[in-house]
């Protein structure tokens, strides 16, 4: 169901947030964990999708509302998920690399920095 302002109003089972609000919360928590050095708590895009699907279990996983992290991250960084208010800290993509699956910030081209 869509809200007249374009916000999807289906709410999560755990905390009553909308889909857009849940994406914002996940992106904010991810950046906060990175800044504080809690690398084990930083989520990759696949883990973000898993969290979204867990928060909205009745929704089908095939919808881009839950799987297109790149699109939602871009909208978040431009302020489109927060009705024009850009985040203080931009969201970045993180990947796990190497033998020990170390988390690193990825560049726009997918290579770790």
In 3D, which of 92, 81, 90, 80 has the Cα closest to residue 17? 81
What is the C-alpha to C-alpha distance for residues 96 and 99, in angstroms, rounded to an integer? Answer: 9
pLDDT at 34 over 50: yes
- For residue 28, what pLDDT band results from cuts at 50, 70 and 90? very high
- Residue pLDDT, tens place only, 73-93: 999 999 998 888 899 999 999
Comparing 9 with 58, the larger pLDDT belongs to 58
- % residues pLDDT > 70 (the chain): 79
Residue 64 burial (C-beta neighbours within 10 Å; 0-12, 13-18, 19+): exposed
pLDDT at 26 over 60: yes
């Amino acid at each position: 169901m869509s809200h007249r302002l374009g916000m999807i109003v289906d709410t999560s089972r755990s905390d009553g947030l909308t889909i857009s609000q849940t994406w914002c919360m996940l992106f904010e928590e991810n950046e906060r964990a990175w800044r504080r050095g809690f690398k084990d708590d930083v989520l990759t895009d696949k883990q973000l999708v898993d969290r979204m699907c867990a928060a909205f279990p009745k929704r089908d996983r095939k919808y881009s509302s839950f799987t297109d992290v790149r699109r939602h991250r871009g909208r978040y960084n431009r302020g489109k998920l927060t009705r024009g208010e850009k985040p203080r800290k931009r969201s970045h993509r993180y990947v796990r690399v190497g033998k020990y699956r170390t988390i690193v910030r990825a560049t726009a081209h997918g290579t770790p920095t």
